[in-house]
Structure 1
Amino acid sequence: MGNCADLRLDVTRIDLALKSPFRISGYVMEKTPVLIATVRRGNAVGRGEAAGVYYLDDTADRGADILRKLALNMPADLTRDTLRTLLPPGGARNALDCALWELEAREAGKQVCELAGLPTPRRLLTTMTLGANDPDVMARGAIGFAGARAIKLKLTGEAAVDSDRVRAVRAARPDVWIGVDANQGYTPDTIEPLIGVLVDCGVSLLEQPFRRGREADLDGLKLPLPVAADESCLDLAELETLPGRFDVVNIKLDKCGGLTEGLLIARRAKQLGLQVMVGNMVGTSLSIAPAYVLGQLCDVVDLDGPIFIAEDPAPTVVYDDGHVTCAPEIWGPDAMIAEALPAQ
């Protein structure tokens, strides 16, 4: 990237209000705190947004503190590659890594996909997520996603009610691909009643059934549908532990620490024979844009974070006919960059 002696870093911390409370196994969310990293060199600007990883206590506040301390003594040789050794995986590194990608793209006059060695981006078929709720509420929500072609259900680890949730959504939407996300809610004993329901309802993916650290519980357990690792794989190093237990890896930029690491994981996962999924934390379209680049390499795409917030600042990604499209005006060399939001 060039000399970083004049690279400046600013950090903003804001709260994004949600349209309604969002429930997953063990958590109910009413707002999403995020941090925005902005880097400047000369007239070029780059931005990245991150929410952190709630189950690791990697909060937006902690991430903002990490970056503010770094801003006081920016390394002269900072690049996206050296950042991977400077900061651990997590929200702070994700925000700064994505900001450096945009800065580099603007300085080079090239699209981020081109810098990443990818073709011109195509629109992506994406799942739309239903938070865990009463089965009839989730069925109505599935009908409300009228244009969706793929729906992901959040489960809570209660086999009986989770089974009712799956049946209700499948009855409401017999036409869509369905995946379920257990968010670590099950054990090998408690999941057994659910499996038959998943098969009967044509569910195509089971994400993170058991707790992080209990991956060995999958050994010898022959599940009749693909299993995805989310919490069980945070970064490139942990990817090597998945083959033989998982079929899919869910890459989230907040977990792995940015687009640079995400691309490395996706390419290595394919070498290991794993399918690749890209997911996201709740956030604005700015947080989706780098993940959209990664999504060009993915078999499953779950990039619906902005639909849950009360207001997504323009320009925004577009959801249409079950797909997501991220226009160049959102992030990259052609981005429309507004004035920074007030810091909190």
Structure 2
Amino acid sequence: MRIELTLAVEAFPIAGRFVISRGAKTEARVVTATLRAGGHIGRGECVPYARYGESVESVCAAIESARAEIEAGADRAALQSLLPAGAARNAVDCAMWDLEAKTSGRRAYAAAGFARLVPLVTAYTLSVGTPEEMRAAALKAADRPLLKVKLAGEGDDARLAAVREGAPHARLIVDANEAWGEDSLVAQLDACARFGVALVEQPLPAGRDEMLAKIAHPIPICADESAHETASLAGLRGRYDAVNIKLDKTGGLTEALAMAQAAQAQGFAIMAGCMVGTSLAMAPATLIGQMAEFVDLDGPLLLAKDREPGLVYEGSTLMPPPPALWG
């Protein structure tokens, strides 16, 4: 079946600013891949991430390098060798899942082996800021059951105390985004335990996280920047208790599903995560969410404007994606 591939670079404004330890952004720039065949359309969205050496230009160039094979009918299995793990493969892989669903009339979740999709409770992210700013943000989000707290290193105790004061009953995830050092790690983890944090993401820089195998884990520690695809799991054993599976890291839903199954078999808890993107990027990740103990698919909640139709969020409860959106 002959396939037509088109690419689009789109920008979606963020409501306010999204701030982590590495910097701030005010919009989500995404690459959308659209596949057309036999009167059907499949779409996939990716978010290029500079931390991994990606840009919208490099992602588009990578997809263009495989255009001939994609348009000649390469399937998802072939795509795994055509493009490496990362945002470019994610956009095309998810578009292939969507096109297959539209062409066959069989929902993507069924093709992935799920009998149905259940609603998910997602974390809601609080950007890093001053304690006063974070207390105010936590107060506004205090009714949400799960908050993800971005931290940045020095002063994190005060930030965490402020968040806990603003949202005394919420379950908390802390995300340091590689900002902590070995000298402060034990004290930071102890502080998180005091404030009732349920999970800490990527406290140390990827590649410099050996200390995690040598210290007690008063709360579970989750690999994010250290965890990309199935092959990375072997190096995480003994250091991490959980893995954050993001489709932009794995290179699409196909590898994400394989990684989730392998992670479960190796004893890791799963977090279903995302970059800041639209509902089109979140929709396929809801399948990973079915396997996850922690779900962080709040990208559209952070945007000033989402795609239409988009996902339905009832507070922090994320409903399964409608077929008109994806899958």
Tell me whether the two structures share a fold, i.e. TM-score over 0.5: yes
1:35 touches 1:61 (CA, 8 Å); kept in 2? no
| Structure 2 stretches lacking a partner, 5+ long | none
For structure 1, which segment, 136-145 or 226-235, has the greater mean C-alpha deviation from structure 2 after superposition?
136-145
1:52 touches 1:91 (CA, 8 Å); kept in 2? yes
Q: Give the deviation of 1:146 after TM superposition.
A: 4.5
Tell me if 1:111 matches 2:116: no
Describe the SS at the equivalent of 2:66.
helix
The code of the aligned residue for 2:115 comes to P
Describe the SS at the equivalent of 2:36.
strand
Partners of 1:56 and 1:332 in 2: how far apart?
Answer: 26
Deviations 1:281-338 (A, max 9, x none): 01110111000121111111000011222210211222224311133145335xxxxx
For structure 1, which segment, 180-189 or 94-103, has the greater mean C-alpha deviation from structure 2 after superposition?
180-189
Match of 1:306 in 2: 300
Match of 2:311 in 1: 317
Match of 1:101 in 2: 97
TM-score (norm 2): 0.96
Describe the SS at the equivalent of 2:165.
helix
**Match of residue 36, structure 1, among 32, 35, 47:** 32
The code of the aligned residue for 1:300 comes to F
Match of 1:129 in 2: 125
Q: Give the deviation of 1:83 after TM superposition.
A: 0.5
For structure 1, which segment, 215-224 or 162-171, has the greater mean C-alpha deviation from structure 2 after superposition?
215-224
Match of 1:53 in 2: 49
2:280 touches 2:326 (CA, 8 Å); kept in 1? no
Partners of 2:69 and 2:83 in 1: how far apart?
Answer: 14
2:311 touches 2:322 (CA, 8 Å); kept in 1? no
Tell me if 1:179 matches 2:173: yes
Cα distance change on mapping 1:190 and 1:17 into 2, 3 Å: same
Partners of 1:54 and 1:301 in 2: how far apart?
Answer: 23
What's the C-alpha RMSD, in Å, of the aligned pairs? 1.5
Cα distance change on mapping 1:79 and 1:73 into 2, 3 Å: closer
Match of 1:342 in 2: none
For structure 1, which segment, 91-100 or 71-80, has the greater mean C-alpha deviation from structure 2 after superposition?
71-80
Partners of 1:154 and 1:124 in 2: how far apart?
Answer: 21
| Structure 1 stretches lacking a partner, 5+ long | 334-344
Deviations 1:134-185 (A, max 9, x none): 1121111112124410001001121xx2111111111111111101001001
TM-score (norm 1): 0.91
Deviations 1:41-83 (A, max 9, x none): 1111100000122201212221112223332554635111111
Deviations 1:186-217 (A, max 9, x none): 12212233222211110111100010111212
Describe the SS at the equivalent of 2:12.
strand
Match of 1:340 in 2: none
Partners of 2:287 and 2:207 in 1: how far apart?
Answer: 30
Partners of 1:153 and 1:60 in 2: how far apart?
Answer: 27
The code of the aligned residue for 1:307 comes to L
Q: Give the deviation of 1:130 after TM superposition.
A: 0.4
Describe the SS at the equivalent of 2:197.
coil
**Match of residue 140, structure 1, among 136, 142, 147:** 136
Q: Give the deviation of 1:115 after TM superposition.
A: 0.4
After TM superposition, list the pairs within 5 Å mapping 1:210-225 onto structure 2: 210-225=204-219
Match of 1:207 in 2: 201
1:285 touches 1:330 (CA, 8 Å); kept in 2? no
Describe the SS at the equivalent of 2:156.
helix
Match of 2:4 in 1: 8
**Match of residue 151, structure 2, among 151, 155, 168:** 155
Partners of 1:261 and 1:101 in 2: how far apart?
Answer: 12
Partners of 2:68 and 2:78 in 1: how far apart?
Answer: 17
The code of the aligned residue for 2:136 comes to R
Match of 1:26 in 2: 22
Describe the SS at the equivalent of 1:244.
coil
Match of 2:65 in 1: 69
For structure 1, which segment, 110-119 or 21-30, has the greater mean C-alpha deviation from structure 2 after superposition?
21-30
The code of the aligned residue for 1:55 comes to R
Partners of 2:229 and 2:321 in 1: how far apart?
Answer: 28
Cα distance change on mapping 1:236 and 1:76 into 2, 3 Å: same
Percent identical pairs in the alignment equals 37
Between the two proteins, the alignment pairs up a number of residues equal to 327
Partners of 2:60 and 2:149 in 1: how far apart?
Answer: 31
The code of the aligned residue for 2:28 comes to T
The code of the aligned residue for 2:266 comes to L
The code of the aligned residue for 1:165 comes to R
Q: Give the deviation of 1:121 after TM superposition.
A: 0.5
Deviations 1:268-287 (A, max 9, x none): 10100110111000111011
